[in-house]
Amino acid sequence: MLIKSLVLKKEFLTTVKETVTLEEALKVLEDSGFRCVPILDESGQIFRGNIYKMHIYRHKSQGGDMSLPVTYLLKNATKTIPVNAPFFKVFFNIKDLPYISVLDENANFYGILTHSALLSMLSESWHVDVGSYVLTVMSSGGPQGRGDLAAMSKILAKYTDLASAITLDAKGGEFIRRTLFTLPAGTDENTLNTVVAKLEKKGYRVVEIDDLQSGLPLRVDEEA
């Protein structure tokens, strides 16, 4: 399971029990340096929500009672995903959260999936360490673009391997789709120029070429 491999398990996390006070929770947050931590029930099994440092500070600055239970300011009680959830569902739930809580098969708290872990996984898909160039290729979206990905991949496969491929803008009804092809390390400029020419000869616009090793763009089409 992809999600399970990215989760920080609860035994390695800083958490607070639902019975602690806001004052006690603030100390935990200040000592740990985290801006928020999960709130668990007394058994440590059930996720109740998150407590944010900023909300406690605001409460305290307004003269609020710091002896109230931490649940008084809990947030994100429903922001959870099951450990076996399809990966794409993470993007619909995590949004602006620093992390999303993950529940096991019995709906008990399993751990958290952080934004940073998610971004690290996505960055690995670029294969920066084993890639040479990234081609951003525009093709038709919607029904008229059926078969474009296979056709483009076939053109590339005649001259080079592929380190990865990512398709963007693939919404229903879209007329334009962008596909990012990462070419493997060792691809020379002659091969690069050949595949670009072959793609464009077939009507696929290569709107951007990025050199992963230098970190610089070799081509950018401002109108794309």
Q: Does domain 125-220 have CATH number 3.30.70.260?
A: yes
Q: 112 vs 10, 78, 214, 219, CA distance in Å?
A: 7, 14, 35, 39
Domain with CATH 3.30.70.260 in the chain: 125-220
Burial call 80-99: b when 16+ CB within 10 Å, e when fewer: bbeeebeeeebeebbeebeb
Please give the pLDDT value at position 222.
Answer: 59
Please give the pLDDT value at position 215.
Answer: 76
Please give the pLDDT value at position 102.
Answer: 95
Please give the pLDDT value at position 157.
Answer: 95
| Rounded distance between C-alpha atoms, residue 147 and residue 212, angstroms | 28
Please give the pLDDT value at position 214.
Answer: 81
Flag residues of the chain having pLDDT under 50. none
Q: Does domain 2-121 have CATH number 1.25.40.90?
A: no
Please give the pLDDT value at position 224.
Answer: 57
Please give the pLDDT value at position 198.
Answer: 96
Domain with CATH 3.10.580.10 in the chain: 2-121
